[in-house]
Amino acid sequence: MEVVLAETAGFCMGVDLALTRLDSLLAEGGDAPVRTLGPIIHNPQVLEHYARRGVSVARGPEDIPQGAAVVIRAHGVPKAMQEALEERGARVVDATCPKVKKAQMLIARECGRGRRLLLYGEADHPEVRGLLSYAGPDAFVFDSREEFESFPLEPDARYVLAAQTTQDRAVFEALAADLAERPNLDVKVLQTICDATRQRQEDAVRIAREVDYMVVVGGKESGNTRRLAQVAAAQGTPCVHVETADELPLDDLRRCARVGVTAGASTPRELVAGVCRLLQEL
């Protein structure tokens, strides 16, 4: 069996930065407890690794004890939540991905100028909740073209279109092009989708068209990993999303001559390597 591994598989810059900051904090030692505000990334194996090192996950500022160090995860947090952490006297280590931070600031600027946010993203995703905190009360969140079409755009209103950083760029650009053709509609488009996301999706599409089967490795709660599986499967290639090599459908894969492998931005290299080793043994 030939295994085709995507060059972009594994940690992105933002995830690598967040974990580096957490590792640096742990390396300092000391008696202060260390918390992350929500899961630092969406990968259960990584979370288990840090739990063994004494790092626990806080659901909100009320779970942070006095004097603790708290790491803001790569997805960012709502503005009010960060302010609440500082009021509790916690040592705050901000590990928000720079791409997410930039999206927060761009949204804050345009909504501060009177525009209403149209946000392409998952409403219950932590990154989206953080982005919305910079937009004011009238933002509209949608996760599909069909959901967007149900929203009544007002001709006299001023809008700003943005996206969760890990969304499908092709869908976003098609929507932006459609809005640009509508007469008498004032819409400013923010390019907030991360280039790393675009590159991963393009790699997944290219490889899926060249192989018999596609394997996507990463946490089941990871939005960008789920979308990799979606864009790969959309090419008509059988595709499976696994967290570890133990979940591989070996009976199906044994019949394949070429298998493609990619991984989400929060997937450790060792998990990808474990999948590739098992496939090569077949």
On the question of pLDDT at 263 being above 90, the answer is: yes
Quote the pLDDT of residue 137: 86
Domains of the chain in start order, with CATH, are 2-10+196-281 (3.40.1010.20), 13-96 (3.40.50.11270), 99-193 (3.40.1010.20)
On the question of pLDDT at 175 being above 90, the answer is: yes
Quote the pLDDT of residue 69: 92
Assign 161 to helix, strand or coil: strand
Quote the pLDDT of residue 67: 84
31's tokens: 């008696």
The mean predicted confidence, pLDDT, of the chain is 93
Quote the pLDDT of residue 90: 86
Residue 44 burial (C-beta neighbours within 10 Å; 0-12, 13-18, 19+): middle
Mean pLDDT of 264-268: 93
User: Which of 127, 181, 202, 270 is an active site residue?
Assistant: 127
Summarize pLDDT for 124-162 with one digit per residue, the tens: 999 999 999 999 888 999 999 999 999 999 888 899 999
Contact 140, 119 (CB under 8 A): yes
Assign 72 to helix, strand or coil: strand
First to last CA, the chain: 7
* Distance, CA of 249 to CA of 156 (rounded, Å): 54
Pick from 8-12, 134-138, 169-173, 276-280 the range whose average pLDDT is largest.
276-280
24's tokens: 């640096």
Quote the pLDDT of residue 212: 98
* Residue 209: strand pairing partners: none
Contact 207, 241 (CB under 8 A): no
Contact 225, 266 (CB under 8 A): yes
Q: What percentage of residues in the chain have a pLDDT greater than 70?
A: 100
Quote the pLDDT of residue 245: 97
Mean pLDDT of 90-115: 94
Summarize pLDDT for 21-47 with one digit per residue, the tens: 999 999 998 788 999 988 888 899 999
CA 278 to chain centre: 27
pTM here?
0.80
Assign 158 to helix, strand or coil: strand
Q: Identify whether 127 is a catalytic site residue.
A: yes
91-94 β-sheet, strand order: 56-58, 34-37, 69-72, 91-94
